Amino acid sequence: MSSPPATPPAIEVTDLVKEYRGSDGSLVRAVDHLSLTVAAGEIVGLLGANGAGKTTTLRIIATLLRPTAGHARVCGFDSQADPVGVRRSLGYVSATTGVPDRLTARELLTSFGRLNGLTDAEVSSRVAWLIDTLALTSYADRPAGRLSSGQRQRISLARALVHDPPALVLDEPTNALDVVGSRSLLDTLEHLRENGHALLLSTHRLHEIEHRCNRFVIIDAGRVVAAGTRSELVGPTGDLESAFFRAVAGGISA
Amino acid sequence: MTDANQLAVDASEREGPSPPGHWLASAWAVAAFQLDRLMTRPRLAMALVGALFPPAVMFAAIRTAPLDRNMAVVMIYALIPEALCVLGLLVTMCPVVADELERGTWIHVAIRPGGRRSLLLGTFAAAVLWTSSVAVTGLLLTLFIAQLTQPIGLAAMFIALIVLSCIGRAALFALPAVILPKRALIASVGVAFLVEYMAGFLPAVVNQVTVSLRLRSLLVEWMGWRQQLPVEMMLFVDMYPASIQIIAVVILVMVLLTVACFILNRRQFPPSAEN
């Protein structure tokens, strides 16, 4: 897959460090001088084993955590200096959908539209548009407790898009989905890319995204160990999974 | 202009000043959501038990021995604005953050502009509405059982005390809820006991910042008991007029909610804090 034209990044992470105090009092470095960028109209895959620092990185970008050092910017807004600017420009999708069982998709999207400060008229038109565009129509008025994991994740994606953010971060969004739900969700993400959204996607399911991302960033122990397009990482033969293992073992340099 | 520059400009335009009442609308969206969450059978059953508890105690009391009006009023005060309101708020206000962390909804709320503030204020509003409704239902049933003279005046007075108790205690419980979300219930019980029922009865400056002192003082003032109060009891009430007591509760609520919002805005929850 070719790279999109060079443009200033919609998501920019520079020299990011995050340290936690462990339960035994020791300092744990979850993210270690990590840098990456995502341009508009691009999907970047953030790959790493459990505990590699993917979720921490995504949550710093989303202003949910403060970095120990370094910067995360979304559409030019710094996550520390202007968290509100970041929040207005970013949607977040996580593996746990957090969609309440009692609410319907329409009710949930309406609530979150209001939470985002949209007027009633804006909420109505935006919710209608999302339900139509993300193909939620058949279950938009059913309580989420009666829906499948895939349907709940699509509602979660709709919630992330309710304020029309130009950038999205997705933390293992296909984890709980079967192959059909997963493909459907990833097709939607590709559609969003075509519409100019910047997407940073973390996942363990490499085969699913191998041919869908413009670029990949592989991290291990909080550090970038490899980055590039699929062809740069994989070469003419081979697959992404082999490249991932080589990178984590130190075979590819960033 | 490049795509990304355009994105930044678009985002800046959206960043403009919030329309008037936007944060109120956001908080109300959360309140409606929280009230809907409270409309489950177990919660409704709990509310029913709560509302029936004071009239049941009153019924048992008047069956056991004759109760004069003043004694009945003190009993209603202890049962409803004190006990029932505190218990109701422990259930509805304490889990404001812990529930969201457990349900995986925290990140989706926290990433919204003003989401944390809206979560706190919306849950505060829902907790006050829910607990007040239960308490007022219990009050009306208790007054019916007690058959006291001038019931409308008593109902109006107790409704005012219930509302003040609910807003004051909900704001008080907001602090442990944001500081120690996973142990908010225990911490709030401790706060209720130490602040409201120990410090509140100390004849010292510290009791000035308790809701219980203000409620007791209002009860004494509105019941016209001040002149008959024994000297030793004067230490447990404040002598300022009712308007000052109400203003003191409102100021206390504003200070507590502002501090709780500030703390919640600064809180970081690592991924391991969820589930």
Report domain extents, chain B.
Answer: 24-35+44-267
Q: What's the pLDDT score for residue B15?
A: 44
Assess whether pLDDT exceeds 70 at residue A148.
yes
Residue A102 backbone phi and psi in degrees, to 5: -80, -25
* CB-based contact A115 B12, cutoff 8 Å: no
Assess whether pLDDT exceeds 50 at residue A65.
yes
Q: Is B136 left (phi over 0), alpha (psi -120 to 50) or beta?
A: alpha
Q: What's the pLDDT score for residue A92?
A: 94
* CB-based contact A96 B111, cutoff 8 Å: no
Among residues B176, B230, B231, B240, the alpha carbon closest in space to that of B208 is found at B240
Q: What is the DSSP letter of A196?
A: T
Alpha-carbon span A135 to B83, nearest angstrom: 50
Which one of A75, A97, A120 would you mutate to disrupt binding with B, by most B Cβ within 10 Å of its Cβ? Answer: A75
Assess whether pLDDT exceeds 60 at residue A57.
yes
Chain A residue numbers touching B110 (CB-CB < 8 A)? 64
Quick check: helix, strand or coil at residue B195?
helix
pLDDT tens digits along B16-34: 445 556 778 888 888 988 8
Q: DSSP string of B64-124?
A: HS---HHHHHHHHHIIIIIIIHHHHHHHHTGGGTHHHHHHT-HHHHHTSTTHHHHHHHHHH
Q: For chain A, positions 122-181, list CB contacts with chain B under 8 A.
A: 156, 159-160, 163, 166-167
Tell me the mean pLDDT in the region A5-15.
81
Q: Is A228 left (phi over 0), alpha (psi -120 to 50) or beta?
A: left
Poorest-confidence range of B151-155, B230-234, B260-264, B271-275? Answer: B271-275
Q: What's the pLDDT score for residue B275?
A: 55
Quick check: helix, strand or coil at residue A74?
strand
Tell me the mean pLDDT in the region A4-29.
83
- Pick the residue from chain B with its C-alpha nearest to A30: B270
Q: What's the pLDDT score for residue A96?
A: 85
Which one of B5, B7, B116 would you mutate to disrupt binding with A, by most A Cβ within 10 Å of its Cβ? Answer: B7
Among residues A184, A194, A111, A120, the alpha carbon closest in space to that of A152 is found at A184
Q: How far is B258 from chain A (nearest CA, A)?
A: 18
* CB-based contact B113 A116, cutoff 8 Å: yes
Amino acid at B155: A
* CB-based contact A92 B107, cutoff 8 Å: yes
Q: What's the pLDDT score for residue B4?
A: 40
Chain A residue numbers touching B14 (CB-CB < 8 A)? 88-89, 163
Q: What's the pLDDT score for residue B19?
A: 53
Assess whether pLDDT exceeds 60 at residue A142.
yes
Q: Let me know: does A218 contact A248? Beta carbons within 8 Å.
A: yes
Residue A223, beta-bridge partner list: A220
Q: Which residue has the tokens 């034209």?
A: A5
Q: Say how far residue A4 (Cα) sits from the centre of its chain.
A: 18
Alpha-carbon span A190 to A1, nearest angstrom: 12
Assess whether pLDDT exceeds 60 at residue B6.
no
Least CB-CB distance to B29: which of A96, A97, A111? A111
Assess whether pLDDT exceeds 80 at residue B264.
yes
**Global ipTM:** 0.85
* CB-based contact B11 A75, cutoff 8 Å: yes
Q: What is the DSSP letter of B232?
A: G
Alpha-carbon span B167 to B185, nearest angstrom: 17
Burial class (CB in 10 A: 0-12, 13-18, 19+), A84: middle
- Pick the residue from chain A with its C-alpha nearest to B268: A65
- Pick the residue from chain A with its C-alpha nearest to B275: A96
Distances (CA, A) of A109 to A88, A136, B179: 16, 11, 29
pLDDT tens digits along A125-136: 999 999 998 889
pLDDT tens digits along B130-188: 999 999 999 999 999 999 989 999 999 999 999 999 999 999 999 999 999 989 999 99
Q: What's the pLDDT score for residue B132?
A: 97
Alpha-carbon span A56 to A192, nearest angstrom: 24
Task: Inform me whether the C-beta atom of residue A196 falls under 8 Å from chain B C-beta atoms.
Answer: yes
Assess whether pLDDT exceeds 50 at residue B7.
no
Poorest-confidence range of A212-226, B79-93, B99-113? Answer: B99-113
Least CB-CB distance to B108: which of A63, A98, A196? A98
- List the A77-78 sheet strands across, edge first: A27-39, A9-21, A69-74, A77-78
When pLDDT is cut at 50, 70 and 90, the band that residue B85 belongs to is very high
Chain B residue numbers touching A76 (CB-CB < 8 A)? 8, 11
Q: What's the pLDDT score for residue B274?
A: 66
